Amino acid sequence: MSPPISQSDLESFSKHLRNSERILALCGAGLSAASGLPTFRGVGGLWRSHEAQRLATPQAFANDPGLVWQFYSYRRHMALQAQPNPGHFALAELARRKKDFLTLSQNVDGLHQRARHPSSQLHLLHGSLFDVRCTAFYCNYSEQNFTDPITPALAIPKEVTQPAPLGTAESGAEATNSLSSAMQSALAAKELDIADDRIEIPELDIKDLPQCPKCGNGLLRPGVVWFNELLPRQTIDAISKWIDSSKKIDLILVIGTSARVTPAADYVEEAKEKGARVAVINMDRADTPGGIYGLEKEDWFFEGDAAVILPEIFQGEIGDISDRIRQG
């Protein structure tokens, strides 16, 4: 539960937001946490017995593409089951109200887009789970793909009730009923949580993984930016052009991220150099750019869940968005 926002902070922030024209928002995993998505943040963030960061590398994919695809297929599935939360909708509405507003997101889950955030005002620093591209050297194939699972071998396993042995059935009707009950049970079966390493998962062959339909011999990979890879050049250039404009930046919102690694940390410093005041929205007071001592006296720290705080602190500009959230 988020602690109450002080009235003086809310009033001073609302006044500054009302007078702000150029606004930068930097979003991290904390924004999507309220939608039920695991963050896998930092060293020690485990998927099964594997450090999630160690699976998010070109080397891991080269060594065991089946395991890496199972990790990302799990994340794709979880993201498609999740819904954008009020924080996503509030941010999208503020972007529509403030035309010189830019959101930079480190999230790959597609929730900004599903909250109808204006695409021209959204840059995905780390790509998307739902982009896939070919790994063959001479092939440039890429596509958006929301199929879940992307291949049958990557389906999330389920608990399935086995039918009674047919040899015990006393009639054909009993055998049919047993099979029918098993089929209905399979449809309603609970998915197994393959993030738990007590749940067995198969070792997959290359042929079971997504293949390139263009070149025919390349393996498709998730279109996210892995560790040791460069961020998309087009994205970086567009952000730099916006920041390097001669115009002042009025405000930077740091939402659900510590923004302590590049390029996120650089964007905070660059915005501050262009005159921006900083508003941090985070669950942990110590988890801020430069630590809590990195904030100036005129900046704001709003402690708590971004899904709760953003609609509240933006309300003076966007109004009550409850109906829009219900409409999806």
Reported as a single tens digit per residue, the pLDDT across 276-296 is 999 999 987 776 666 554 788
The reply to whether 27 sits in an annotated binding site is no
> What per-residue confidence (pLDDT) applies to 293?
45
Global confidence as pTM:
0.86
**Which parts of the chain sit beneath pLDDT 70?**
1, 41-44, 160-188, 287-293, 328
Which tokens sit at 57? 């590398």
> What per-residue confidence (pLDDT) applies to 246?
84
Q: What is d(CA 308, CA 45) in angstroms, rounded to the nearest whole number?
A: 25
Kindly give, in sequence order, each residue whose CB lies less than 8 Å from that of residue 276, ignoring residues fewer than 6 positions away. 24, 248, 249, 250, 251, 252
Task: List the alpha helices (DSSP H) in the chain.
Answer: 7-19, 29-33, 52-55, 58-63, 65-81, 86-97, 111-114, 172-188, 233-243, 264-273, 306-313, 315-318, 322-327
Q: What is d(CA 260, CA 290) in angstroms, rounded to the nearest whole number?
A: 7
The reply to whether 139 sits in an annotated binding site is yes
The reply to whether 134 sits in an annotated binding site is yes
> What per-residue confidence (pLDDT) applies to 60?
96
Under DSSP, the state recorded for 80 is H
Buried b (16+ CB within 10 A) or exposed e, 69-105: bbbbbbbbbbbbebebbbbbbbbbbbbeebeebbbbb
Nearest to 102 by CA among 111, 110, 94: 94
For residue 26, the tally of other CB atoms under 10 A from its CB is 26
Nearest to 23 by CA among 274, 262, 238, 320: 274
Q: What is d(CA 29, CA 41) in angstroms, rounded to the nearest whole number?
A: 8
Would you call 126 a catalytic residue per the annotation? Answer: yes
Nearest to 197 by CA among 47, 72, 51: 47
Q: Cα-flanking dihedrals φ and ψ of residue 271, to 5°?
A: -65, -40
Asked if 298 and 67 touch (Cβ cutoff 8 Å), the reply is no
Catalytic residue among 88, 117, 123, 126: 126
